[in-house]
Amino acid sequence: MSNRYKFLPIFPEILLDTNSNNAVKLSHKIMKQIFISISTFMWRIKRANIGHALRLSSLLFLFWMSTATVLAVSPPSPSKIYSLAFFAPRGEGDPFWGLFIGFMQKAVDDFGAELRVHYADGNREKMRQQIAREATSKNRADVLVFPNFKKGGENFLKIIEENQVPAFVVNSGFTEDEQVGLPREKYKFWIGELLPAEQDVGALLAEKLIEEGLRIQLGSNKLPLEMIGITGIVSDYAAIQRTKGLQQIVKNYPEIRLRQIVPANWSEDDAAKSFSMLKRRYPNVTLIWSASDVMAQGVIRSAKILGLVSGKDFLVGGIDWAQAGLQSVSKGDQHVSIGGHFMEGGWAVVLIYDYLKGSDFAELNLSWRSSMASVIAPEWQKQKKRRESIKPEFIDFKRYSRFLNPENTSYDFGLKSLIAEK
């Protein structure tokens, strides 16, 4: 059962849909039940020959009729302040999640809603406990928002289903082997998801590195060029999908030899150690694909210790548009960064707001994907407008709402619209 339905206190068997169209249809059912209940009541008091009770019942009848009619046809009050709870996988100072929450907070502010943020500090069990506490709280948020962190997502969904609180999944989704299906199938209170097009992102990163490496004949004139991949936590949806994108692209380039892909757990230190080890194992490696900008920083640090020069001895690229990653791109230490998905926090708020207002996004889609874009060192100055335009303070999230803008027939969450808006 969708969370858009609430039980009427007088007749709990009747469902009230906050969508005005469906509510009108349900009003007939409500009125029918009212008439049945009142008629039964009047028949009983008639047998008892209670005159004043009949007069009282008439007043109750009129009250119930008016109340039911108002409830059936009126949408939620536009002035109601909604609350959202977001569960971040890492700590408060995390570069990526800081950006994600920043966009989310701006959208929440635009809609006059409230945001509660819980930090799991890299601990899946801690996130589960936080979700359980929020879901069972008397003052719980209207919607819980979380990623499928370290494959804990189904346990999270079981909690929200048991407590009948709506939830929205962001950033990291479910793999096929988890068998959770789509939103509103197995878990009815899982209302939707918004995820990066991760495989496309991994492919785009690989393509940018390979094209540049071949163009400048990196490291040596000898082909094939050797490449390694440094990915995140092996069980994470993002790591799995991004790695698939890398493997997909390499198949298209016989001039490239992918030596090995190793996990570095989204950690800069782990990535530095992994690169140092792989460079000793494969001394001719020149292309380093990194599943995040944070790990790319570890590669750069380790490469400098080894006396390697970016653009001459190696090329490294990452994902996320993290501040450190963009700074490295501006200096030429990092060739490319793919990003933009930190805006999903804001886009998720738009979808949730419309859902709570009765303009359910389900009529368009339940499983959304967001695109990303690349920032490349040689084009740093040319892409200045793109980078500077994508800041939360420049975005009016209300203009993307279909509830507030009925003329919107779809959701335009692309980067081009943001640049044009600025």
Residue recorded with tokens 């501006």: 330
Q: Give pLDDT, residue 141.
A: 97
- Residue 228 and residue 299 in contact, taking contact as beta carbons nearer than 8 Å: no
Q: Band the pLDDT of 305: cuts 50, 70, 90.
A: very high
Q: Is 393 exposed, middle or buried (0-12, 13-18, 19+ CB in 10 A)?
A: exposed
Residues 119 and 93: their CA atoms lie apart, in Å, by 10
Tell me the pLDDT tens digit for each residue of 251-292.
999 999 999 999 999 999 999 999 999 999 999 999 999 999
Residues 89 and 14: their CA atoms lie apart, in Å, by 39
Q: Is the peptide bond before 76 cis (omega within 30 degrees of 0)?
A: no
Q: Give pLDDT, residue 126.
A: 98
412 φ/ψ sector (left φ>0, alpha ψ -120 to 50, else beta): beta
State the CB neighbour count (10 A cutoff) for residue 151: 17
Distance of CA 403 to the CA centre of its chain: 20
Pairing between β-strand 15-17 and β-strand 5-7 as defined by DSSP bridges: antiparallel
CB-based contacts of 142, cutoff 8 Å, min separation 6: 82, 83, 84, 166, 356
Q: Give pLDDT, residue 307.
A: 96
For residue 23, pLDDT over 80 is answered with: no
Least confident of 3-17, 52-66, 134-148, 404-418: 3-17
Q: What token pair was written down for 159?
A: 């909690």
More confident residue, 418 or 325: 325
Question: Region 123-148: what's the mean pLDDT?
Answer: 97
Q: Give pLDDT, residue 39.
A: 43
More confident residue, 419 or 256: 256
Q: Give pLDDT, residue 40.
A: 44
CB-based contacts of 290, cutoff 8 Å, min separation 6: 229, 230, 271, 296, 299, 316, 317, 318, 319
Q: Give pLDDT, residue 95.
A: 82
Domains of the chain in start order, with CATH, are 5-73 (no CATH), 83-196+342-372+381-421 (3.40.50.2300), 199-339 (3.40.50.2300)
Question: Region 118-141: what's the mean pLDDT?
Answer: 97
Q: Give pLDDT, residue 377.
A: 81
Q: Is 109 exposed, middle or buried (0-12, 13-18, 19+ CB in 10 A)?
A: middle
Residues above pLDDT 90, as percent of the chain: 62
For residue 29, pLDDT over 70 is answered with: no
Tell me the pLDDT tens digit for each residue of 63-113.
444 444 333 333 344 456 799 999 999 999 888 899 899 999 999 999 999
For residue 3, pLDDT over 80 is answered with: no
More confident residue, 406 or 392: 406
Q: Band the pLDDT of 58: cuts 50, 70, 90.
A: very low
Q: Quick one: which of 203, 197, 187, 265 has its CA closest to 230?
A: 265
Q: Band the pLDDT of 415: cuts 50, 70, 90.
A: low
pTM: 0.71
CB-based contacts of 236, cutoff 8 Å, min separation 6: 150, 151, 172, 266
**Mean pLDDT, the chain, integer:** 82
Q: What token pair was written down for 232?
A: 């995140």
Residues 382 and 287: their CA atoms lie apart, in Å, by 24
Pairing between β-strand 315-319 and β-strand 367-370 as defined by DSSP bridges: unpaired
Question: Region 231-250: what's the mean pLDDT?
Answer: 93
Q: Give pLDDT, residue 392.
A: 82
- Please work out, in degrees rounded to the nearest 5, the angle formed at the alpha carbon of residue 172 by the alpha carbons of 90 and 146: 60
HSE value, Cβ hemisphere, 13 Å, CA-based, for 32: 7
Q: Give pLDDT, residue 416.
A: 56
Phi, psi of 296 (to 5 degrees): -60, -35
Question: Region 371-397: what's the mean pLDDT?
Answer: 76
